[in-house]
Every structure is written in structure tokens, then in C-alpha cells.
A = this chain, B = another copy of it.
Amino acid sequence: MGTDSVLKLDNQLCFAVYACAREITKLYHPLLKEIGLTYTQYIAMLALWEKDRITVKQLGQRLYLDSGTLTPLLKKLEQTGLLTRVRDKQDERSVIIALTERGTALKDKARAIPEQLFCQAGVSSGEAEALRAQITEMLKKVQQNPSQ
């Protein structure tokens, strides 16, 4: 085996995924700026547009993010007026996230984004879907603590 092929950057799956994630995020930046969201905020809104009135914990499980990241992010979205954060009466440990009217309405503006992005990235939706499926499978394997 050549000296150190296992340590070559170009052989690292991790690096490819890591670099790709950041480059895609950069691509989103100008589009998201128009609707006033950061990338992570957009991901959170995507989850909430599908299903809101969920706890921080549940949102975190969906996004693979913990309260350390979500608490400040959700406070910001609350300040912007896109959602509310209210303690659950049934279980005061939990905080329930609900979209406001404005938060729900923002979905209309977001609808054009995926299409614009595909064009920009020059990736066909077919190959994107195939790749997404594989990466998702990998994500599930790699997931450290699925119960989290």
C-alpha cells in the first residue's frame, strides 16, 4: 500500500461530505437572504412547515441538533415573529414551538428556492434524489444515538 493512502484527504468520505455541505450552504445564502433566513433557520422552518406545535426536543431529533444550538436560533425566530415558544402545560420541562401566521405565510416565498437551487447547482433532480437516498442511508448508519 502506498505510504499513507488512508490519510489522504481525497480518500476521506468525511471530508467530501463536510466540504459539500458547506458549499451547498453557500449556494443557498443569497436565496435565503431574500426571505431573511439563515441556512439553519431555513432547515428549522422546513421542519416546522411540515409539522409545528412540537417540542424543542422533537425538532432537535428531526434536525440532529441539540438545545445548545436550537435555543438561541428559536429565540431569534421568535423575535422575528415567525414562531412562538411556550412551555407545555402538561409537562413544564418542554417548550412547544408553534408557527405564527407570518411564519406559516413565509412558506409561499420559500417555495421557489429548491428549483432555483437545482438550476444553479447544475444537478439533475434524478441524480440528486439517488445521491440523497444513499447519503440518508449512510446518515442512519452513522447516527450515534438514534434514541437521542
Contacts and interface: CB of A to CB of B under 8 A. Distances in A.
**How many chain copies does the complex carry?**
2
Contacts of A17: 17, 20-21, 24, 135
Contact of A132 (B11, B49, B141): B11
Contacts of A114: 6-7, 12
Interface stretch (A77-85, A90-98, A121-129): A121-129
A14 B15 CA distance: 16
Interface of A is mostly: helix
> Size class of A's contact patch?
35 or more
Given A18-B25, A46-B15, A62 B110 contact: no
Given A18-B39, A18-B43, 12 more contacts: A7-B107, A7-B111, A9-B62, A12-B132, A13-B123, A13-B129, A13-B132, A13-B135, A17-B17, A19-B139, A21-B21, A131-B135
